[in-house]
Structure 1
């Protein structure tokens, strides 16, 4: 295995609200590096994105000047379908085109058994009647008024993230390994389910078992051959794995993943834990993929299974995952040596290029901040239509949506102002499910608790 060191960005700089960002960010944006050679150093940011955040007098969402938000829906309000109340714990989400300029949002509800508001049980859409999680579909018009809101799938559990497919369906992921009989469940959990945001009756509430049973976080699909990439969010040892699923039916289309395929886990030779890689721009020229012995984890969790003498590569808190251009990107939210990781970091973004087999550490967050300050623990992530990307923060203290520009600077885009603690000990829910409307004019984003979906508009082209 050849390992090269490309110090594309050799310096560190503190940008935005206290984030230290280092790395070959041009992998994300297709940007051309400046400078005389392959190396370039980026110093302190000369721009602050769209400007400082303006305090919201209503105490919901702070945004830069010129931007505005609308509340699309909130937990506890009645579903337009009459099926019950809007469930709790808004998490992963994607936006799909609908009639005219309407947009359909498919939204996860990461409910465990103690959830205050469970996803209502709906006949024909429920996997396990004892499962409190699932998804809802929300259709909004051009003014972001709700035209439809209903249950899309029910009876699942801990629906964390997922990802859209090239054929315009949503894959929702269960972040649990509970089996039938555990915690009151009647069926095994830890699967991926496919949801159709358009046709009410086409969603089949049965798991895509070939994609594995583990603590799923997010998925991304290579539109060229249908390969599905999956992250596993495990915060304690043994940490999660990064997977690829090679479908038997690469043509795609709704239901195509039911044909089965082969599930494999990433192996970076001589790197048992990705946190040990600390230098942004590090490139592993050729990685390996090892077939998972028992994808259903009948007796042993996948990450504990015997992968042979070379083992597989683990990472703490593998979270967001998305496809862009010719590669897949995935996030390690943090690593803590005190919890078993090889080294500490406040967040990494990796990219994998299937054509070359190359794995690159693109960005490292920190350690330019303390864990109590903004700018730690990246979670859900998506490309931004104006260039760069948007990152949902899931850490301690204030919670932000951060943007990363083509110039490799980081800026605050939004701050959650809904205090779920008290005046003496404030607490703010994480952001999740950031996504853009198909025309790129609206950023939709969730606050996990209290469950709130926002629509953000403004002068995106100003950046």
Structure 2
């Protein structure tokens, strides 16, 4: 957390978490913990091993670390652990599919594997871990290689992972031999079934995350653009909705969200703000042949932009997406430390349901939310990607923020510590285990305990 933010919070006289929620958010908190108003699992207990602090009664297992040999013998475990999801497998097993956000100069690239490699000069991709019912690692192997900057993604209703490239680099840039900026489908249980085929119709841009409407097959996509104009929120209408593995290759139509009268979501600061006439505008050139999509001409009314559009997930009958922060000094219309938006397709309604800071207690986590998922209680688990100490934190119905985990791996110095962000927070199919990555040094944890 930056000194500037700490000073601002201290000046506000914050004494407790003051994150605000609208009533529209209640569908996510139907679990018993929320009904009791439970504020978390207690204080974090320092880890004697210096890896991961957890509340009393919880324990972790290290499943994988960067640089160790892959059990498949394909090479070392790649670096930069990012987005991840857990899938049910046979015999009570779980398959984790994990992103590696390596760029062209990534430290430990994903090994090139025949039949699973898109561009041999790109160092990103995914690995897959198969776990038994006790979280013992049975196998670990490459699931896709030769992709670039695999940041986040999301699961499909048919049990595959959509991994997203957060780049727009073309062939000939940074040594790449093919264009990048696509989504790829990955079957963690059988990677050769999906191979390494870009889903080009879903757009070429700086992808972050996706969520699939399980009733229609529409895929919602976030764009984490690094400069103005900032990213867009998209939906992809597949020609073969809910067709199962490989169906997204059949193509479809990409559209961008327009909120009438709101060119920049950071202008909206009050939770509960609602917009009932959201429009979807066809993308002129989804391949960004000459111009990045966010720069293209969408007509006189334009489309709606937002800085740092990152996490995206489906809950109830709605899609939720995250703007990690907005800074007017960088070109946004307003400032905030994180927003969660809810879009209800059946009502064409967009609602701002969570705003993080600046009234949050300086001792609590609560800035720059990134990956986000539903917890067993029906609440939220959020991976923090900000400055200073890094947490996985939970949010309850009453607006209480509680720390669930803290990364203790200091990659800096004692005088100037640095802690890697959390990413890929997800739960096992039976809700008994929380899986989470530390980005650097790349570490995958399995966390068990008395989940509510």
- Normalising by structure 2, report the TM-score: 0.93
Residue 429 of structure 1: aligned partner = 420
User: Are positions 1:20 and 2:11 aligned together?
Assistant: no
Q: What stretches of structure 1 of length at least 5 have no aligned partner? A: 1-11, 33-44
Residue 103 of structure 1: aligned partner = 94
How far apart in 2 are the matches of 1:14 and 1:196?
46
Cα offsets for 1:228-270 (capped at 9, x unmatched)? 0000011321100000000111132001111111100000111
Cα offsets for 1:321-366 (capped at 9, x unmatched)? 0011100000000000000000000000000000000000000001
Asked if structure 2 preserves the Cα contact closer than 8 Å seen for 1:152 and 1:197, the reply is: yes
Matches within 5 A, 1:29-428: 29-30=27-28, 48-369=39-360, 374-428=365-419
- Deviation (angstroms), 1:28: 5.2
- Deviation (angstroms), 1:48: 3.7
3-state SS, counterpart of residue 122 of structure 1: coil
How far apart in 2 are the matches of 1:31 and 1:103?
26
Cα offsets for 1:394-425 (capped at 9, x unmatched)? 00000000101233321110000000100010
Asked if structure 2 preserves the Cα contact closer than 8 Å seen for 1:387 and 1:406, the reply is: no
Aligned length: 436
Q: What stretches of structure 2 of length at least 5 have no aligned partner? A: 1-11, 31-35
Asked if structure 2 preserves the Cα contact closer than 8 Å seen for 1:281 and 1:360, the reply is: yes
How far apart in 2 are the matches of 1:152 and 1:13?
49
Stretch moving more, 195-204 or 263-272: 195-204
- Deviation (angstroms), 1:31: 5.1
How far apart in 2 are the matches of 1:348 and 1:98?
34
Cα offsets for 1:47-68 (capped at 9, x unmatched)? 5410010100100000001100
3-state SS, counterpart of residue 201 of structure 1: helix
- Deviation (angstroms), 1:198: 1.6
Asked if structure 2 preserves the Cα contact closer than 8 Å seen for 1:28 and 1:324, the reply is: no
How far apart in 2 are the matches of 1:25 and 1:141?
40
- Deviation (angstroms), 1:373: 7.5
Residue 4 of structure 1: aligned partner = none
Residue 447 of structure 1: aligned partner = 438
- Deviation (angstroms), 1:374: 3.4
Change (3 A) 1:141 1:221: same
How far apart in 2 are the matches of 1:180 and 1:25?
48
- Deviation (angstroms), 1:184: 1.0
How far apart in 2 are the matches of 1:23 and 1:413?
20
Change (3 A) 1:371 1:330: farther
Asked if structure 2 preserves the Cα contact closer than 8 Å seen for 1:442 and 1:456, the reply is: yes
How far apart in 2 are the matches of 1:441 and 1:111?
30
3-state SS, counterpart of residue 100 of structure 1: helix
- Deviation (angstroms), 1:19: 4.7
Change (3 A) 1:214 1:84: same
Stretch moving more, 392-401 or 91-100: 91-100
Stretch moving more, 135-144 or 451-460: 135-144
3-state SS, counterpart of residue 340 of structure 2: strand
- Deviation (angstroms), 1:146: 0.7
- Deviation (angstroms), 1:200: 3.4
Stretch moving more, 391-400 or 402-411: 402-411
- Deviation (angstroms), 1:274: 0.1
Cα offsets for 1:79-121 (capped at 9, x unmatched)? 0100000000000000001122321000000001221100000
Asked if structure 2 preserves the Cα contact closer than 8 Å seen for 1:29 and 1:406, the reply is: no
